[in-house]
């Protein structure tokens, strides 16, 4: 499959909201996602369906990424050949998204903590390798692995080839009461 083809099992859900029913949980203690591939498969994390997928070019992709996550510098190796799509849903204040795109580079510049959008992103590559750098640490995340990004600190995130991933965005304000200072 090339970047201009859309997988037929993915459907666009931009700006739709999911609600968790009282008493429903999806608790798992498994950290090795490679042993439980259905946990984040399209059948394991269903997004509400709509009729069609909207493929975005470079200009629209920048806008969509900044609206979905937070302010990022977005650059492309070949902007005129870029193609991607993003599905997004909210579970109360937690954002869940599925993203599929060809080569793209993100840079989060120096930010001060205390911004209204301070969040963590938990990123799960499904296809393709993703590279990430923050606080002097570099990693390459492959399908079946995950990593955590802190929005309040500068970082660099990119993939050199087509990639699909799930991202969970959790506002830090939801985690602060759970953390010991």
This prediction's pTM: 0.69
HSE, side-chain direction, 13 A CA sphere, residue 2: 3
Give the tokens for residue 142: 């492959």
Residue that has been written with the tokens 């599929």 in this structure: 100
The number of angstroms, rounded, from the C-alpha of 13 to the middle of its chain's C-alpha atoms is 14
35-174 maps to CATH 2.60.120.10 = yes
| Domain layout of the chain by residue ranges | 35-174
Q: Count each helix (H run) and each strand (E run) in the chain, helices first.
A: 2, 11
Please list the pLDDT of the chain residue by residue as tens digits (181 residues).
434 343 333 333 333 333 333 333 333 333 334 434 444 444 444 444 444 578 999 999 999 999 999 889 999 999 999 999 999 999 899 999 999 999 999 999 875 444 567 899 999 999 999 999 999 999 999 999 999 999 989 999 999 999 999 999 999 888 877 666 5
**Cα–Cα distance measured from residue 162 to residue 101, given in angstroms and rounded to the nearest whole number:** 6
């Amino acid at each position: 499959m090339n970047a201009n083809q859309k997988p037929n099992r993915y459907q666009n859900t931009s700006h739709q909201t999911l609600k968790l029913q009282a008493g429903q949980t999806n608790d798992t203690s498994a950290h090795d996602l490679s042993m439980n591939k259905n946990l984040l498969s399209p059948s394991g994390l269903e997004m509400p369906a709509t009729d069609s997928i909207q493929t975005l070019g470079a200009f629209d992709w920048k806008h969509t990424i900044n609206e979905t996550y937070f302010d990022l510098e977005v650059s492309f190796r070949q902007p005129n050949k870029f193609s991607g799509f993003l599905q997004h849903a909210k579970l109360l204040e937690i954002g869940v998204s599925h993203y599929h795109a060809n080569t793209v580079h993100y840079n989060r510049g120096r930010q001060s903590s205390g911004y209204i959008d301070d969040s963590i992103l938990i990123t799960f590559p499904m296809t393709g390798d993703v590279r990430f750098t923050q606080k002097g640490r570099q990693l390459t995340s492959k399908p079946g692995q995950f990593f955590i990004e802190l929005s309040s600190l500068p970082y660099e995130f990119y993939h050199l080839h087509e990639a699909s991933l799930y991202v969970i965005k959790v506002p830090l304000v939801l985690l602060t009461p759970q953390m010991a200072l």
